[in-house]
Each structure stands twice: as C-alpha cells, then as structure tokens.
Structure 1
C-alpha cells in the first residue's frame, strides 16, 4: 500500500510539472488584460545638484484636450506618496471640489541633504549630510519648474507638498523663494530642526513681508515634544503676523501617527485650500442673475488663486443642454457661445452650439457651427469626428 501511494504521488507530481509547462488556454491568458497606467517617469540632469533626478508625472483625465492648461502639484518624497496623492486629486476633481491638477513627484537620492537647511545652532545631533535645502530649492525653481512648464501645458499656479523633512522644506521654500509656489501643504513638519531656527526665520519673514498671497496648510499627527513645540511656535507667528491675503490653516490630527498622517493631510489640505472652488447651483444662478453671474464667480476664483480660471467645458456644456431641453434657446445658445470663447480649440463646443442653432431652426448657422466642429476635430483626431461629420452633412442637405 505504501509503495502504491508513493507511485500515485510521483505520478501526480509529474502531471503537475507537465501542466505547468503547457501554454495557458486562450480564455485564461486574455484575463491578464491591459495595464492601468497612472503616470510616466522622466529623468533630468541637474547641473545645480550635479546628478540625474527621476521624476514621476501624473496627467489628469482631461489632459488629451489641447486647449487646457493645468495647475501643478510638486510632490516631495515622490515615490512614497505618488499613488495616493494622484488618487485623491482625481477623486476630488471629479467631484468638482478642486481643479484637475498635474502631479510632478520628485524621487529622493539623498533625502536628508536635499530637504534640510544647514545646522547652525543645535550641535547635539549629528546629520553629516544635511544642509542642501538651498541648492535643492534652486534645482526646483530654476531647473525643474522651467522644464515642466516648457514640456507640459501648465498654468502659473504651483503647489508644494512635503511630509516631515519635506514639510520643513516647504517652510524653507516659502521663506526664501515665496514667488515660486502659490500654496503649500506641510505635513507634520520637522520644525524642531536646528533648535527651531527655521521657525525663527519664518517669524522674521512674516513680520517684514507686507504683501503675500497664497495658502499654507499645516498638520500634525499624534506627536508631541519637539515636533509639537515647533508647530505651535509657527502657528503663533502666523496668527500674529501673516499678511491679510495669505491664508493659513493648522489641523491637529491626533488619531494619525507620523507615518499615517500624509494621506488624510493631503485630502483635507486640498479640500481646504480649494474650499471656494465648488460653484453654487449654476442653473439657479443663471435663472436669477443671468449667465454673467457665472463669469463673476470665476473672476473671483481667478483673483483668489492668482491665475485665470474659467468654468470647465463639461460643466457649461451640461448646463447649456439643461436649458436647451427646457426650450430656453437664448440662454442655451449664450452658454454654448461662452464655451466656444473659453475653449476655441474644442470641436465639442462648436458641435453643441450647432445643436442649439439646429433646434432654433437656423440651418445656416447650425451648418457653420457643425463644419467648424468637423474642421477642428479633424485637426485634433477627435474620436467624435464621425458625429461632427454626420451633423455637418445633414445640415448641408437641408440647405440644398
């Protein structure tokens, strides 16, 4: 019996080995599917740092549209925070709680060197590689940002996000090159550094800076001691001396550890900084005050965030059809025209305007709008090109 069992076991083992060498059935192999890609990586050579740096880039859903420029979030410790940060941005933007943003994530080579200022006061702790923050800031401001602006469709709005030493570096960037970034999320920043000298420098900067626009959002997990002391000191300085157009926020997160605090801080920070972003009910706004109320809303946003902001193409498109389906043709047409002015390189905006003219019985202007949509779509290899062509040909027949 024992010999029989051994023979059966050997036979089964041989069958398993043979099966593992056989090609997978087609139906099973197809289950592997296509990869889901959330970004791309590039390398740039820094003359300032004298080294190559790897950068990960996230481009938002609407990036394929050639007429949109995006604000950019520069992310420190990029390899550690890229995935959850891009997910948060994608989710909040889809809920219209913030703009779509690109993410430029900087991977580390020598983290302590890059993210810390030189030690001048506190000689009790040794950090032999520290002190490279000024050079790293020059790399960001004078090499990385210009290359990103040259290579991608960016607006002039930039955010810097950093955790721990990265949060310390965010404060360093604000104090030393405030023109580079518009907003900052400093997550559990290591403000104990060098006997809190960076905080003292920030106090001096705030007291002597009369005009400063932007946002500074700071958090702290369930940390006490020197971590808490530095944060409280900076909070007091901001309370006392922050210029009126500089919006700052401090959020204590006692349920989060130093390691877990980045995710919640990034979500809450983005939602807080872009609190004004979400528009009120646009349909009711237009009914009460006309479409000019929409322009006024986005003018206020532009002033608040320091770059030109207009309503998204999709938002106005949906609103226009909302009025069109209620036979409010004049309002719908005005909204579609607004979209063509804000997004003149979008075929869809002209196609929608053609729909309005078509419903109004103005065949000539409907044809001209559809033709414009077709011409733009052909240049941009628009996936809806056949729709634009069919609409154009349908109106062409009516005119004949």
Structure 2
C-alpha cells in the first residue's frame, strides 16, 4: 500500500514535467548514425550561473527515462538529492545491438563495443561541453543494459561514479568477477543491484550469485546496496528499484536526520563543528556541489551538543555559524547560549544586544532576542539583589557576633569583680 501511494505521488509530480522535457540528437562517428536523446534540465537551469549538476545517463531511455525524471523531481522537492541533468538514450530497435556482449567475458564486443565507445568518447564529452555538469555521473540500466553498464567498471578509470543495475542480465566475466573488480577501486563507487522473487529465474540466479560475491568485498571506497523485492516481476520491480537506489546513492546529500544524529553525531569523537564541516566538504568533493549548512541542521547539532553537555562544541558551532553567515543572528545566538551555559551572563547579554543589529532567521527573531535579554537582565538584577541581601546579612551577622563578644567580655568582667 505504501509503495503504491509513493508511486502515485511520483506520477502526480511528474505530470507537469513532461512539458519540460526536450529532445536532442547527436551525430556519432562510432555508430555511423544519429542518436536521439531525451533531456530534462533542472528547474530554473541557468547556463551562466556556474552551478554544476550531477549527470544521470539513462540507458533504456525509451521507457526508463520518465520514471527516473519523476523520481528525481520527487526527491529534489524534499531536498533528498541535488537537482540533476537527466539524459535518456533512445535505443529502440538498436537496443539488442547496443548491449551486445561476448558470451565468455560478458563485456561489449562489435556493435556493443561501438556503443560503449560512443557513450564514453562522444556522448559524455558532448553533454559536458553543452551543460553545467559536475564530475558525479550516474548510469542506470535494466536487463540487458543493466549488464552493459558494468563494462565501464572494468576500465582503469570508470566513466561513472554510481551504477544502478536493475535486474541485470549478467553474463560471463562480469557475472563471475564483478565482486573481485569492486575490491580494487580507490575512489568512491556506488553500486546498486536489484532482483525479485518473481524475476526471470536465470537472471535472478545470476544476480543472487553476484550479490554473494559483492557482499564479501572489503573496500572502504565501495558503497553497495542490494534489494530483493517480494511480489514484483522483472518489470514491475523497476519503480521500486529506482526509488531505493536514488535514495541510497544520495543519502549523504540529504539533510541531517534522527538516525544520523543518534548513530554518528552523538558519538562523534571531536567537536561537532568539525563533523558539520567534514560532512559538507565530502558532499562538495563527491557531488561537485557546494551545499550550505541550513539553520535547521545547525539547530539539530546544537541540541546534540547540549545533550552531550559539550560546551566546547556549542561555542565552536557558534563561531562556525558566524563565519559562514556573518550578517545573520544565528552565530551570535549560539555564542550567547554558550556564554549563558558557562554562567557568563554579562557576556551573553552583550552578544544578544549585538544580535539586534543582525538579520533575523526563521527560528531566531528579534522578539525572541528581546525576551532573552529581559530574562538575562532580570537574572542580573536578581543576582545583584541577592548579593546585596547577602552582604547585608553578613553585616548583621558580624554586628551580632561583635555584640555577643562584647556581652561576653562584660559578663566576664563582672564575674571577676
């Protein structure tokens, strides 16, 4: 039921996108023909902006392109993945020739090798030259083309960073040595594979065998995901596989969520400002996108610092927020909160007073700052009153002791007389 609702939602979101899909063609010397392309650019794409976008190449673009466009729109709507350039390769009656592989090696040969070279030597350079593509590339293929995209893994420098192999028709060397090949990468590789209990039996057997191999791979640079769907056929598993694979591949890009906060942030060895910086540096390194740390993520990290009673992290998060957004009230707010918890109330007041000259945020507004100032000033006044009362109390106690000593002295004098 849940999967059905999600599928319907993706379809609803996709409806207005069909008008935004454009068609292009590329003349290929490798194929000695012209190939048709379907292209979906990000919303508000501006070639002069300098913003770079991951490139998603959809093999079997005749029928896989539209579901992927809908899924990408769905996930970017919730900021679960970056806006991307999606290119579907229309293969039509050429598909069998495009995916033609040697039965022994499982790697492209003859017409398949020409198509392999077309993608690597003509299509990708053409797209990189025409659009603002980042260095992160995703390949998606189903069945025959699910096997074909693995051929790029067997090159010294893989063409793609992420591979979505949906019910791939694995063959030969690819089937038998895929796990071994994935052991040797020294750069990040994402690999996703899926089958189902109602998949074509010969495909399912080969996929399960490959999964057993890959599951044993010990490589810190490999991120591997596998799904074995229940009740889906060779074709109906496609939508679920697309959704699951994109969610996993772009997991790092997603906003900080409870699971990451509990499993990684809370137990992080070091100050939490470094966790944030390292996380977003990795997003930039991997996807070629500079994503800003949101106010909500700062807020969640601060709450973890408070949970850890980690005043050092709280102060450093404040300094980081101030550095990244010097015109915003956010950094001052966290620094004031740190001063308050360190019982330096006068410093906290000064920081909040300075905040009134900075820009409000969605969570930290001037009314809140004024209420904090009123609270802290009351604390100062109450503290000063308590000090005065304590001073007066000590004065009275001193006078009482003095009077008591004098009385004892007088009593002793009378006894002596």
TM-score by length of 2: 0.60
How far apart are residue 213 of structure 1 and its match?
A: 2.4
How far apart are residue 240 of structure 1 and its match?
A: 2.9
Distance 1:270 1:359, change over 3 A: same
Q: Distance in 1 between matches of 2:72 and 2:20?
A: 12
Which of 218, 243, 263 matches 2:193? 218
Distance 1:119 1:66, change over 3 A: same
How far apart are residue 67 of structure 1 and its match?
A: 2.9
Which of 79, 84, 87 matches 1:101? 84
Per-residue CA deviations over 1:155-200 (Å, capped at 9, x if unaligned) read 1000000011111112222223652100000000012x4xx44312
Per-residue CA deviations over 1:283-316 (Å, capped at 9, x if unaligned) read x99xxx787764332013345xx3433225xx75
Q: Distance in 2 between matches of 1:118 and 1:183?
A: 24
Q: Distance in 1 between matches of 2:51 and 2:158?
A: 23
Distance 1:142 1:91, change over 3 A: same
- For the pair 1:47 / 2:29, whether they are aligned, the reply is yes
Which of 69, 73, 77 matches 1:86? 69
Q: Distance in 2 between matches of 1:175 and 1:292?
A: 36
Q: Aligned runs of 1:181-220 on 2, under 5 Å? A: 181-191=160-170, 193=171, 196-206=172-182, 209=184, 211-220=186-195
1:118 maps to what in 2? 102
- For the pair 1:301 / 2:279, whether they are aligned, the reply is no
Per-residue CA deviations over 1:108-166 (Å, capped at 9, x if unaligned) read 041011113123489xxxxxx98533221211111110110110011100000001111
1:133 maps to what in 2? 112
Q: Aligned runs of 1:345-356 on 2, under 5 Å? A: none
Q: Distance in 2 between matches of 1:132 and 1:242?
A: 35
What is the RMSD of the two structures over their aligned residues, measured on CA atoms? 3.8
How far apart are residue 361 of structure 1 and its match?
A: 8.1
How far apart are residue 203 of structure 1 and its match?
A: 4.7
Q: Distance in 1 between matches of 2:164 and 2:101?
A: 19
| Number of residue equivalences | 290
Q: Distance in 1 between matches of 2:209 and 2:240?
A: 23
Q: Distance in 2 between matches of 1:117 and 1:301?
A: 35
Structure 2's unaligned 5+ residue stretches are 1-15, 266-270, 299-317, 329-353, 360-417
Distance 1:67 1:204, change over 3 A: closer
Three-state SS of the structure 1 residue aligned to 2:160 is: coil
1:67 maps to what in 2? 50
1:360 maps to what in 2? 357
Structure 1's unaligned 5+ residue stretches are 1-33, 123-128, 321-328, 340-356, 363-400
Greater Rg, structure 1 or structure 2?
Answer: 2
2:138 maps to what in 1? 159
Q: Distance in 2 between matches of 1:204 and 1:280?
A: 34
Q: Distance in 1 between matches of 2:327 and 2:71?
A: 30
Per-residue CA deviations over 1:224-249 (Å, capped at 9, x if unaligned) read 52112211221122123453311111
1:311 maps to what in 2? 291
Q: Distance in 1 between matches of 2:173 and 2:58?
A: 24
Distance 1:233 1:67, change over 3 A: same
1:251 maps to what in 2? 227
Q: Distance in 1 between matches of 2:327 and 2:205?
A: 52
How far apart are residue 90 of structure 1 and its match?
A: 1.1
2:347 maps to what in 1? none
2:121 maps to what in 1? 142
How far apart are residue 59 of structure 1 and its match?
A: 0.8
How far apart are residue 333 of structure 1 and its match?
A: 6.5
Q: Distance in 1 between matches of 2:17 and 2:120?
A: 34
- For the pair 1:236 / 2:218, whether they are aligned, the reply is no
How far apart are residue 36 of structure 1 and its match?
A: 5.8
Three-state SS of the structure 2 residue aligned to 1:63 is: coil
How far apart are residue 206 of structure 1 and its match?
A: 4.0
Three-state SS of the structure 1 residue aligned to 2:125 is: helix
How far apart are residue 358 of structure 1 and its match?
A: 12
1:18 maps to what in 2? none
